[in-house]
Structure 1
Amino acid sequence: MLFATSEPITLNKIREVTDSFYPLKPSVLLGLMDELQSDYMELRRGFRLEEIAGGYLLRSCEEFTPYIQLLYREKRGEKLSQASSEVLAIIAYRQPITRAEIESIRGVDSSYVVGSLLERGLIEPSGKLEAPGRPTLYSITQEFLSHFGLKDIKELPELKSLFPNP
């Protein structure tokens, strides 16, 4: 299963599939996943098993990045613009947050950028603010975590470390 997907697979999904053939207790399955992670590291494989965005995913080891970049040099992915990066950071650190609050922080209209991030699946509506007009609240998605290789939101760097006092 792990070799057949490019998206993180949740432990529940892995259990659902394995239970069809060989039922395992969740603790046993979790232990097997931990054992796989350790084995791949100890054997110095070209890949490792990581827990990302609430699931497990096989990823190439960082030391092979130059080779992989050469392999895919023609297939450049769409990069985030400066504005998209700013809005995404604001949402990640302040979620849930309204577009008006984002614009207040940035000082410019962010409608287009929010729409673009919604289309890419990096943010999602997460409710409505109990205020006049009931503006939409935005939060990051599992796709955001996967895109940035994060297990969960707690892995974001602390703002203090990004902006130390002069």
Structure 2
Amino acid sequence: MELFEVGKPFKDGITRYPEGISFNINKNGCNLLIYTTKFTEKSRQAIIKGDLKYGYFKEDNVIIMLFRFGNHQWIEVPYSIHMCKNSVELEEVTETEGFSLNIYIINSGTGVLEDTRQVELDLRLSKMLRDDVLEQKSMPYSGFNIRVSEFNRKYSTKALVSMSRALV
């Protein structure tokens, strides 16, 4: 298991990242990575300590993760297991414990980890997400980016939330 320390580089030797948000699943669990230099203290507090709502939309080989911190707007993050460099076997979800969600705020200009939060995802959502990711793994990756672009043109984030497969 990788250990990360606030105030230290997120990855050794990397001092810059493109601004943006990504989601992956690895041996540490589910990971939401927020790369930015334009963060207010209010936004940071909403992410680290505020109310968290989450879910996901799925159609064909596309999974779009959905997150909302406090009163901020929903965030949508496309996910494909085929994009993960360090893909791991997804652990079974037990009757008592859902997937772990690790949230990392990384300064994109310095590469330094500025803050973290860890939460346990809802059991039902964790089971559904695991099944959907395993199904996605058996599907071809080709066309994924085109489909994501189609969904972005066709649906607003609010519409994706209303059509989400699971929402907590």
TM tier, smaller: under 0.3
Larger radius of gyration: 1
TM-score scaled by length of structure 2 = 0.21
User: Higher strand share goes to which structure?
Assistant: 2
Is the helix fraction higher in 1 or 2? Answer: 1
Give TM-score, length-normalised by structure 1. Answer: 0.21
